[in-house]
Structures are given as C-alpha cells and as structure tokens.
Amino acid sequence: MTTVLVVDGANVVGARPDGWWKDRAGAARRLHEELLVADTGHDVVVLVLEGQAKGGVRAGKDAHVRTVHAAKDGDATIVAEARAAAARGDRVVVVTADRALDARVHGVGATTLSPSWLLSQL
C-alpha cells in the first residue's frame, strides 16, 4: 500500500515564525527543499500551495514530492488530493492544524498530523 502525505503548505509555513510573511514564495521554496530530503516515512508527498506561495515552486513532480498549485483555495485542493489518493486505495495523511479541514479530510478517509510533527521531521 502506498502512503501519501498531503501537506497544507500555508499551514505548515505559518507554523514557523521565521518571517515567512515577508516572502511567501521563498518560504514555500524552503519547505519544498526540506521535503525533498526529509524522511517522513511516506512514499509520496503532495505539497499544496496557494496564493503568493505558488511563485516559489513550480507545479509538478520532483523525486517523491509533487507540488500542486491550488486554483482557488488550498483547502478544496487538499480535500481533492486526499480523496483521489484514498480512492486509489492509498493510506492518506494530511498535515494541517486547520480544524475545519481536518474534519473534511477525515470524511474522505484520511487521517491528520500537525505541522509541528512535520517540522520535527525536517
């Protein structure tokens, strides 16, 4: 069984008070680079970016990390990614601290972990 980690990029970036608000694209790029070398224990990592953060990482696949640019809101894209992975029979974990999003992804068969968990893996 493939394990898929779907990362709420905005939520994870926002969990680190490192000045990300001054350079959202740069913060997204740093997170992407960290995910490329991190051992998260998941086969596939899907990084969902929205807004200005999309300027930091091109959409597409790099090694085991696939970056997805949300067309509108990131939450809908995260739910769609989780739903698609679960429909394939994958084990899906979403990284977010957003309670409403947590409830939505549980509804499609995913579990959640906190941004602090992910940051401890980086």
| Domain layout of the chain by residue ranges | 3-121
Give, as one character, the DSSP assignment of residue 50. -
Task: Please report the pLDDT score of residue 80 as a whole number.
Answer: 97
Specify the pLDDT at position 33.
Answer: 97
The amino acid at 25: A
Can you give the pLDDT at residue 19? 86
In the prediction, which pLDDT does 118 show?
A: 96
pLDDT, mean of residues 61-90: 96
CATH code reported for the domain at 3-121: 3.40.50.1010
Span 84-122, pLDDT tens digits = 999 999 999 999 999 999 999 999 999 999 999 999 999
- Global pTM? 0.96
27, 36, 65, 74 from 33: Cα distances, Å? 10, 5, 10, 20
pLDDT at residue 37, rounded to an integer: 96
Distance CA 27, CA 20 (A): 5
